[in-house]
Structure 1
């Protein structure tokens, strides 16, 4: 993959071995409502800066991969009138060749961040194995990219709309280390615990950074590391509300397939929860950006 277009701020930070944190653009263009998305974009970058790192929001604009966006480019990404295409890693070549504007998922953000030399990435939730995957073969590309790309991904686990047990099994099969930050239970996005254990627990950003450094420096292979950070307790969705929304969403999207499943389910959560899920989404991604920045600082230290 050719080197993406990198902002001068990010390029300088990388050259000086200062911490940089990649941020995805799909949450801005597809995950949050207009207006709110631009506010969150600004807050995410501010959280990263306040923690001592440099933010590098990733997107494809005019067929060019961008690592680090200007304010005007963030405006463009967040404007619903521009209707950015959702791009996984497999879609990047087509977007480049056709000169498209696209928002990057976990898979494509990880790939582009690594190509630019950025090794830490904060997101909301990782993609995974979908329910019914034995029949549909619907497994997110995020997992394979994480298994082959040496980037630390900080997230709040995977969404409960997925088959969490199968997702963790696949991560084990692909030799991806999974760390729980201050928890022994793998988080489920809106909920702090999925009921599944994490194989390793760390208590501090310094411990997480030590594991990442050891994995990169001493373990053969090219896999990344997953750091699972539970949603802040005050924003955790009520269990009864969560389970009702999940059951309704799964029933309503029974005939939806492929990459349209997750957006449809999340839209149901957003509209039927009275905004609770949007507040939760914002809180967890900000928390992940802070933790990723703290780990990035430790890695550079």
Structure 2
């Protein structure tokens, strides 16, 4: 099971609002771009905190890291009732604006987890020129699995009749006592409080709109394969959102570097952060060799 993210920034990291032509986005930044910058894009119900364990090792390897909350995610502002700003094309343009703003002239690499991978793919297909590489972390070629589609539909149905706090309480009541709403082992009240705070700060319209996207995403692998950009498909060794054979096949179709992280599931960044960081560093260093 995926472990919960830590909400404690590593030494030297700073949290701030990134001001872009498309609005402000909450980010956590660390390191100096000796070799380049890595833009980290979180997944569905996630946030920039999901990448917290990756900042230090990437910084030590010479990479500046910028983890971002997308529009309506956690600490980034976003419409509460209007789904239009969360259309995939709009979120992709947000990412391009973030890339433009954080760019310092060094190579800019984008890493997208799950939903963040599909948004990153959409951004690259709109304009690949800002990016030196694309890593799809636990992010598949098309719609999520049937089982996960059913979970997303339950969430959408709940949000239609309940507010975010009521949905949180309902999810907690449905979980086994030792688990959090992420399916992660409970590490204590502080973790649960952090997860609750993130949940309540997230826009319900964002969840409904992006959940619908995950359930209907078309296969755009052929389009992406035609883009001349180094690509990396990284995942845990188990994943019930996009089964591993599907990710393996996608990597072949993309002619992408493939990494499978042992003892990790859908969130290798929190399950096995050291191995995940090592894999990212190996891929990124290999591009510049």
The two structures have a TM-score, normalised by structure 2, of 0.42
The two structures have a TM-score, normalised by structure 1, of 0.41
